[in-house]
Structure 1
């Protein structure tokens, strides 16, 4: 098992194209061709986590938070970031971060929060835009099913709870092969008319090349005619935050106490109670204050996140309850997301959750 095999699993699950512009997700330290002795999973990367990996004999540390978000200009060991990088390199330890890209997928950070709370019918709170394309190709009628299936298998045609979605129109294709061509149908130098099917299907940006490659490989024509259109549609399968509903509505304080216990929060800071049962819940791991209006717009009774500043609590405006459970507390179960993914894909490989508590915040 090489580093590239591990990163491929991680990036099939949460494509790096989903990360925010400020982020630094992906392989930060390490060579893709290095063999992996074991994977240690942590929320953050600290010197203690690197020491733990060394003690275990593991050379791959997988974390949620990147060790460096901005540029690192010097490696003098004058701060913890520099010391961690130096120690990792000296001990041939690779470091990989799955950050905002893992925040963005349905079964990622926020999906795990929803699971812990017990929410059902969960959806993305703020779906991504400019992520969808329509691919149109033209195949001879007797080969259309083969081409269409290849495109579906490569990841196209998924719309919400439906897959294998396409639109197909019968028509006539014309072409004339030159003297250098090797036509599937027709003759060189003669205009040919062929019964063809126009196949239209949607594809997310991160799978576009894969689908085009599958289409060309499965297509019988020497030269494949196809079009790609950018769509303005939102992509419901990825984005920021999530929301869902409790099976049974709960009293506000009862719910808040349950959340405090579930996430082991040292404290829960919350806004005015609205004196009505909580049924619809919106969540965002980490710092989610930017989603408060989205939470209101979907009719959530409460919005759970972390890192709210003093004045941001006022944005609740007695329309919703804001509950700040802490940054670490909201994202701590991301380790389980990684662990479940890797142990499912490579069940006989050494994967372990770090025993180091990396939360820098303490409570009295």
Structure 2
């Protein structure tokens, strides 16, 4: 059985929810349709002609990429231009393109966590917070005998997380009253008669990202025809998600030695380095993409070195003067996402018994050559 496009993207958005992306970002479906069965999924960093040819050869009709193919509003599509030819080839071969960018960067277990793990950064925290999770309080009243079933349903759907604790809830016994009117089909009681039901009030916390899933799970598990529940917006805020990661290294090292860790961990042959190669490095920061302008945030978080791409000359001078060292492995170091996303998606699809194939692109989209 093949997964529908909407199903594949629902799984992808469990990994990288759209609502945590930065406002300026161009994410989501950029070309094609998700109203089709997905024969194959190709995960790529960029989408160019070689990547499209790879998708065609593998029988893939969906590409999930990190970098957008359409970033600025189009005034038209001319098929005699490079971009127009690319769009035309995708359309003619019924290949959809979906973009997951800053939402994949900031999410827990996403791009910057993968990069931090590759560099030996432990317990990484964001360099700069950009999104604080909104929380809701769910209150629902359940017959005593069905209490555990409903409680398990809402907690397993994503409710009840507080910091490093999961499955948190508060439960109070009491009784509810109601009169089933004509036309009702009550689980407890009879039409026209006052009913006193032993019930348990369940209270738990629900993050915005799981709100709909939790409510649907609750309604499905609840035995009542009309479910009594409340959902309150809370002043209490949840997790902070943000750009980059900073944390202590597993072992103190020098900048010279850490360069080799970066090259090995991010699978790059060359890096640019700013700073004294013999400087001790105990705490490191990493940011996928172009993160040079955040060097002051890394300093504030106590980092000795910032690993990020596309560092310009003046940023390097300013960072050096400010007292932090820099390592630039290039923007293409984000290619770590290809295998990681492909593995995550393959596991999700297999878990739900789908036969849609998943591939990590093998095309090297690095535009630079080092001579």
Q: Distance in 1 between matches of 2:277 and 2:8?
A: 47
Deviations 1:58-85 (A, max 9, x none): 3322321121123223111354332211
Q: Distance in 1 between matches of 2:154 and 2:293?
A: 37
Superposed structure 1 runs of 4+ greater than 6 Å apart? none
Change (3 A) 1:290 1:39: same
Q: Distance in 1 between matches of 2:140 and 2:294?
A: 39
**Aligned-pair CA distance for 1:139:** 2.4
Which among 114, 117, 123 is matched to residue 115 of structure 1?
117
Which among 41, 61, 64 is matched to residue 63 of structure 2?
61
Deviates more, 1:294-303 or 1:312-321: 312-321
**Aligned-pair CA distance for 1:293:** 4.7
CA RMSD of superposed structures (Å):
2.9
In structure 1, the gaps of 5 or more residues are none
**Aligned-pair CA distance for 1:117:** 1.0
Aligned to 1:97: 99
Q: Distance in 2 between matches of 1:15 and 1:27?
A: 13
In structure 2, the gaps of 5 or more residues are none
Aligned to 2:224: 221
**Aligned-pair CA distance for 1:49:** 1.5
Task: Give SS of 1:286's match.
Answer: strand
Aligned to 1:29: 31
Q: Distance in 2 between matches of 1:139 and 1:210?
A: 18
Aligned to 1:149: 152
Task: Give SS of 1:82's match.
Answer: helix
Which among 326, 329, 332 is matched to residue 328 of structure 1?
332
Equivalences for residues 1-364 of structure 1 within 5 A:
1=2, 2-77=4-79, 79-125=81-127, 126=129, 128-186=131-189, 193-236=196-239, 238-263=241-266, 264=268, 266-270=270-274, 272-273=275-276, 277-289=280-292, 291-313=294-316, 314=318, 318=322, 320-329=324-333, 331-346=334-349, 349-364=356-371
Contact preservation (8 Å) 1:106, 1:124: no
Q: Distance in 2 between matches of 1:273 and 1:174?
A: 74
TM-score by length of 2: 0.84
**Aligned-pair CA distance for 1:290:** 5.7
Contact preservation (8 Å) 2:133, 2:239: no
Deviates more, 1:186-195 or 1:73-82: 186-195
Change (3 A) 1:219 1:60: closer
Contact preservation (8 Å) 1:122, 1:242: yes
Contact preservation (8 Å) 2:132, 2:240: no
Deviations 1:308-362 (A, max 9, x none): 4445442676354343332222x11111112211333346654333332212233
Contact preservation (8 Å) 1:133, 1:205: yes
